[in-house]
Structure 1
Amino acid sequence: MRFNLTICTVLFSAFQAFAQNSPVVIPLETTQNALVLQADKDNYLGIIYFGKKLGQPTEYQQIPAQSRQRDGNAGTYNSAYTPAGSWNVSEPAIQVTQGDGNKSLDLVYVSHKTVKENDNVSLTSVVLKDPVYPVEVTLHYKIYAQENVVEQWSVISNNGKAPLTLQKYASANLYFTGKDFYLTHYNGTWAKEMNPEEEHLTAGIRVLDSKLGTRANLFQPPSFMLSMDKPATETSGKVLLGTLAWSGNFRMDFEVDSYHNLRLIAGINNYASEYPVSGNQEFKTPAFIYTFSENGKGEASRNLHNWARKYRILDGEGSRLTLLNNWEATYFDFNEEKLSGLFKDGKKLGVDLFLLDDGWFANKYPRNNDQAGLGDWQENIKKLPHGIGYLVKEAKNAGIKFGIWVEPEMVNPKSELYEKHPDWVIKQPQRPEHYMRNQLPLDLSNPEVQNFVYGILDKLFTENPEIAYIKWDCNAITFNAYSAYLEKSKQKQSQLYVDYVKGLYKVLEKLRAKYPKVPMMLCSGGGGRVDYEALKYFTEFWPSDNTDPLERIFMQWEYSYFFPAITQSAHVTDWGKQPSKFRTDVAMMGKLGYDIVVSHLDEKDLQFSQQAVSTYNAIKDVVWHGDLYRLVDPKENDFSSLMFTTKNKERAVLFSYLTGNRNGDGSEIAFRLEGLDPAKKYKVRELNLYPGTKTAIKEDQVYSGEFLMTAGFNPVVSARRTSVIIEISAVQ
Structure 2
Amino acid sequence: MGIMVQEQAGLFHLQSSGMSYLIQIVNGYPVHVYWGGKLKHRERMEDLLLHTPNGAGLDRLPQEYPQYGSGDFRNPAYQAELADGTRITELKYVGCRTMKGKPALSGLPAVYTEDDAEADTLVLELKDSYSGLKVDLLYTIFADRNVIVRSVRLVNEGLNQLRLRRALSASVDFAEKRDMEITYLSGAWAREGNITRRPLLQGETRIDSKRGMSSHQFNPFAALVTPETSESHGEAYGFSLVYSGSFEAVAEVDSFGSTRLGMGVNAFDFAWQLSQGESFQTPEVVMVYSGQGLGEMSRTYHRLYRTRLCRGEYRDRERPILVNNWEATYFNFDADKLVSIAEEGAKLGIELFVLDDGWFGKRDADNSSLGDWYEDRRKLPGGLADVAERINKLGLQFGLWFEPEMISPDSELYRKHPDWCLHVPGRRRTEARWQLVLDYTRQEVRDYIYDSLTAIFTTVPVSYVKWDMNRALTEIGSAELPPERQSETAHRYVLGLYELLERITKAFPHILFESCSSGGGRFDPGMLYYMPQTWTSDNTDAVERLKIQYGTSLVYPISAIGAHVSAVPNHQVGRITSLEFRGNVAMSGNFGYELDLTKFTDEEKELVKEQAAAYKQIRGLVQQGDLYRLKSPFEGNESAWMFVSEDQEEALVYYFQVMAVPHAPRRSLRLAGLNPELEYEVQSSDSETTSTWGGDRLMQLGLHLPYKQKDYESGWFSVRAVGTNISDRA
TM range (shorter): over 0.9
* Equivalent position SS for 2:89: coil
Say which of 650, 674, 694 aligns to 1:704. 694
Q: Tell me, yes or no, if the aligned pair for 1:136 and 1:156 is still in contact at 8 Å.
A: yes
Pair 1:537-2:530 in alignment: yes
Q: Tell me, yes or no, if the aligned pair for 1:231 and 1:237 is still in contact at 8 Å.
A: yes
Q: Tell me, yes or no, if the aligned pair for 1:656 and 1:717 is still in contact at 8 Å.
A: no
Deviation at 1:266, TM superposition (A): 0.5
Pair 1:393-2:378 in alignment: no
Q: Tell me, yes or no, if the aligned pair for 1:77 and 1:90 is still in contact at 8 Å.
A: no
Distance 1:629 1:116, change over 3 A: same
Whole-Å Cα distance in 2 between the matches of residues 446 and 259 of structure 1? 48
Whole-Å Cα distance in 1 between the matches of residues 35 and 275 of structure 2? 36
The alignment of Structure 1 onto Structure 2 pairs a total of residues equal to 694
Q: Tell me, yes or no, if the aligned pair for 1:50 and 1:175 is still in contact at 8 Å.
A: no
Deviation at 1:625, TM superposition (A): 1.0
Structure 2 letter corresponding to 1:85? G
Deviation at 1:76, TM superposition (A): 5.1
Pair 1:523-2:509 in alignment: no
C-alpha RMSD over aligned residues? 1.7
**Structure 2, unpaired ranges of 5+:** 1-5, 102-115, 724-730
Distance 1:69 1:233, change over 3 A: farther
Select between 571-580 and 96-105 the one with higher mean Cα deviation.
Answer: 96-105
- Partner residue, 2:720: 729
* Equivalent position SS for 2:497: helix
Deviation at 1:678, TM superposition (A): 1.2
- Partner residue, 1:459: 455
Structure 2 letter corresponding to 1:712? G
Pair 1:103-2:87 in alignment: yes
Structure 2 letter corresponding to 1:253? V
Deviation at 1:663, TM superposition (A): 2.5
Deviation at 1:157, TM superposition (A): 0.6
Whole-Å Cα distance in 2 between the matches of residues 715 and 590 of structure 1? 23
Select between 532-541 and 54-63 the one with higher mean Cα deviation.
Answer: 54-63
**What is the CA deviation profile of residues 193-228 of structure 1, one whole-angstrom value per residue up to 9, with x for unaligned ones?**
122221111112222111001x43121111122103
Structure 2 letter corresponding to 1:242? F
* Equivalent position SS for 1:119: helix
**What is the CA deviation profile of residues 328-363 of structure 1, one whole-angstrom value per residue up to 9, with x for unaligned ones?**
11100111111121221221221110000000000x
- Partner residue, 2:106: none
**What is the CA deviation profile of residues 702-723 of structure 1, one whole-angstrom value per residue up to 9, with x for unaligned ones?**
1111111111112324335811
Say which of 229, 245, 249 aligns to 1:248. 245
Pair 1:30-2:30 in alignment: no
- Partner residue, 2:431: 435
Structure 2 letter corresponding to 1:279? Q
Whole-Å Cα distance in 2 between the matches of residues 194 and 579 of structure 1? 24
Pair 1:512-2:508 in alignment: no
Deviation at 1:516, TM superposition (A): 2.5
Deviation at 1:538, TM superposition (A): 0.2
* Equivalent position SS for 1:684: strand
Whole-Å Cα distance in 1 between the matches of residues 667 and 459 of structure 2? 59
Q: Tell me, yes or no, if the aligned pair for 1:245 and 1:289 is still in contact at 8 Å.
A: yes
* Equivalent position SS for 2:305: helix
Distance 1:60 1:413, change over 3 A: farther
Deviation at 1:646, TM superposition (A): 0.4
Structure 2 letter corresponding to 1:178? K
Alignment of structure 1 residues 486-501 onto 2, 5 Å: 486-487=481-482, 492-501=485-494
Deviation at 1:242, TM superposition (A): 1.6
Distance 1:260 1:58, change over 3 A: farther
Distance 1:60 1:451, change over 3 A: farther
Deviation at 1:395, TM superposition (A): 0.9
Whole-Å Cα distance in 1 between the matches of residues 506 and 272 of structure 2? 29
Say which of 460, 469, 480 aligns to 2:464. 469
Distance 1:401 1:70, change over 3 A: farther
Select between 542-551 and 335-344 the one with higher mean Cα deviation.
Answer: 335-344
- Partner residue, 1:321: 320
Whole-Å Cα distance in 1 between the matches of residues 437 and 643 of structure 2? 40
- Partner residue, 2:579: 580
Deviation at 1:671, TM superposition (A): 2.3
**What is the CA deviation profile of residues 600-628 of structure 1, one whole-angstrom value per residue up to 9, with x for unaligned ones?**
11111110110110000001111111111
Whole-Å Cα distance in 2 between the matches of residues 196 and 437 of structure 1? 29
Select between 575-584 and 449-458 the one with higher mean Cα deviation.
Answer: 449-458
**Structure 1 vs Structure 2: percent identity of aligned residues?**
32
Alignment of structure 1 residues 8-19 onto 2, 5 Å: none
Say which of 131, 134, 142 aligns to 1:133. 131
Q: Tell me, yes or no, if the aligned pair for 1:151 and 1:288 is still in contact at 8 Å.
A: yes
Structure 1 letter corresponding to 2:413? L
- Partner residue, 1:546: 539
Whole-Å Cα distance in 2 between the matches of residues 528 and 719 of structure 1? 37
Distance 1:533 1:70, change over 3 A: farther
**What is the CA deviation profile of residues 616-655 of structure 1, one whole-angstrom value per residue up to 9, with x for unaligned ones?**
0001111111111111112223211110010111100001
Higher alpha-carbon Rg: 1
* Equivalent position SS for 1:36: strand
- Partner residue, 1:113: 97
Distance 1:385 1:553, change over 3 A: same
**What is the CA deviation profile of residues 657-684 of structure 1, one whole-angstrom value per residue up to 9, with x for unaligned ones?**
112343245x832221111111111111
Whole-Å Cα distance in 2 between the matches of residues 623 and 57 of structure 1? 42
Structure 2 letter corresponding to 1:597? D
Deviation at 1:427, TM superposition (A): 2.4
Q: Tell me, yes or no, if the aligned pair for 2:29 and 2:92 is still in contact at 8 Å.
A: yes
Distance 1:275 1:235, change over 3 A: same
* Equivalent position SS for 1:507: helix
* Equivalent position SS for 2:222: strand
Whole-Å Cα distance in 2 between the matches of residues 267 and 191 of structure 1? 26
Give the TM-score normalised by structure 2: 0.92
- Partner residue, 1:502: 495
Deviation at 1:386, TM superposition (A): 1.4
Structure 2 letter corresponding to 1:459? A
Q: Tell me, yes or no, if the aligned pair for 1:247 and 1:534 is still in contact at 8 Å.
A: yes
Alignment of structure 1 residues 683-694 onto 2, 5 Å: 683-687=681-685
Whole-Å Cα distance in 1 between the matches of residues 437 and 219 of structure 2? 20
Whole-Å Cα distance in 2 between the matches of residues 69 and 373 of structure 1? 66
Pair 1:563-2:556 in alignment: yes
Alignment of structure 1 residues 297-376 onto 2, 5 Å: 297-314=294-311, 315-362=314-361, 366-376=362-372
Give the TM-score normalised by structure 1: 0.92
Deviation at 1:725, TM superposition (A): 1.6
Q: Tell me, yes or no, if the aligned pair for 1:182 and 1:226 is still in contact at 8 Å.
A: yes
Deviation at 1:131, TM superposition (A): 2.4
Q: Tell me, yes or no, if the aligned pair for 1:27 and 1:57 is still in contact at 8 Å.
A: no
Deviation at 1:231, TM superposition (A): 4.2
Structure 2 letter corresponding to 1:559? T
Whole-Å Cα distance in 2 between the matches of residues 701 and 267 of structure 1? 51
- Partner residue, 2:599: 600
Deviation at 1:698, TM superposition (A): 7.5
Deviation at 1:316, TM superposition (A): 3.1
* Equivalent position SS for 2:328: helix
Pair 1:619-2:614 in alignment: no
Whole-Å Cα distance in 2 between the matches of residues 432 and 74 of structure 1? 46
Pair 1:718-2:714 in alignment: no
Say which of 211, 223, 234 aligns to 1:237. 234
**What is the CA deviation profile of residues 524-544 of structure 1, one whole-angstrom value per residue up to 9, with x for unaligned ones?**
001100111211110200111
Pair 1:187-2:182 in alignment: no
Whole-Å Cα distance in 1 between the matches of residues 231 and 41 of structure 2? 29
